[in-house]
Amino acid sequence: MRNYTIFLRSFAPWYEFGGVLPKSAADSTGGQFAGDNRGFSVDDDDDTTSRVNLKFSVDVAHGVLGFTKVWCDPSFGPYLMAGPRVQDRGKPKATVTSFKDGSDFCVSVGYGAANPLAPGAPDIDAQGDYRLKYDSTKHELSVQAKISGDQFPACESFIDDGFGHGVFLGGFSPDNKFEILRLYGQFNQPDSIYFESTTTISVGPHGAFRSVRGAWGTQLGKSLLALGPDLSIHVWNASIMNAIPLPSDAPAAVNAP
């Protein structure tokens, strides 16, 4: 059985967001920060950017954690919210823990990173808790996932087989860009919004994902939708992504299942 890679990412669905002053054409100051301008995705390429990224590999059969990488894609916008428009990268901090629980392999990851162009800004935080198990008789990989964190910006998680197949595990998204206030003070309640999923993935002889079945839910309901028969990976991904509304003010954000 091959190793698999799990991703946890926080992204801004908008073309632009934040900022306090209109952009000045005369001196290139002010304006908003560049967003990632996308919906939920299982793509892992240079065009699929995020404000914060974390990925790690797992050898489920042996209960071994492989590599871990955490990074921020470049931020572009007005320095100190109103100054000249510049580019910089955030400096994320991450925690990763793992343990075996019988035949299950459990991994918890979390990260925090602030906007590097706004010194003093609060971190964007996210947490992913995963329980994995491989059934060598049925050739099935079971993944239980809980995704939580700040309600701004959007967040997503998926598992990738290395053959170009990513199975979406869940996420959440704010209603609009003004919910950036949820990063501050009493509005910041990272444990109050979460997404849970239980997936069983059929695995081919070389470890490639073939089909998926399972269920998912949110803090509003433990079984928002349960799916019995196996589905194609694309249908499964699209079903979960479409069940999570994207911001009403991000018209260009399109899911990529």
Task: Classify residue 50: in a domain, yes or no.
Answer: yes
Task: Classify residue 252: in a domain, yes or no.
Answer: no
Task: Classify residue 237: in a domain, yes or no.
Answer: yes
pLDDT (tens digit, 9 = 90+) per residue, 172-207?
999 898 877 666 554 555 566 678 999 999 999 889
Task: Classify residue 137: in a domain, yes or no.
Answer: yes
Q: Which two tokens stand for residue 122?
A: 């609060």
pLDDT (tens digit, 9 = 90+) per residue, 63-90?
999 999 999 999 999 888 777 889 999 9
Query: Can you tell me the mean pLDDT for 138-156?
Result: 92
Number of domains composing the chain? 1
What are the C-alpha distances in Å from 68 to residues 31, 47, 219?
35, 21, 28
Q: Is the pLDDT of residue 20 over 90?
A: no
| CA dihedral sign, ordered 4, 132, 60, 95 | positive
Q: Which tops the pLDDT comparison, 168 or 82?
A: 168
Q: Is the pLDDT of residue 228 over 80?
A: no
Task: Classify residue 254: in a domain, yes or no.
Answer: no
Q: Is the pLDDT of residue 238 over 70?
A: yes
Q: 16: closest CA among 117, 158, 157?
A: 117
Task: Classify residue 256: in a domain, yes or no.
Answer: no
pLDDT (tens digit, 9 = 90+) per residue, 98-140?
999 999 999 999 999 999 998 888 899 999 999 999 999 999 9
Task: Classify residue 253: in a domain, yes or no.
Answer: no
Q: Please give the residue range of the domain that contains residue 181.
A: 4-242
Task: Classify residue 257: in a domain, yes or no.
Answer: no
Q: Is the pLDDT of residue 222 over 60?
A: no
pTM over 0.95: no
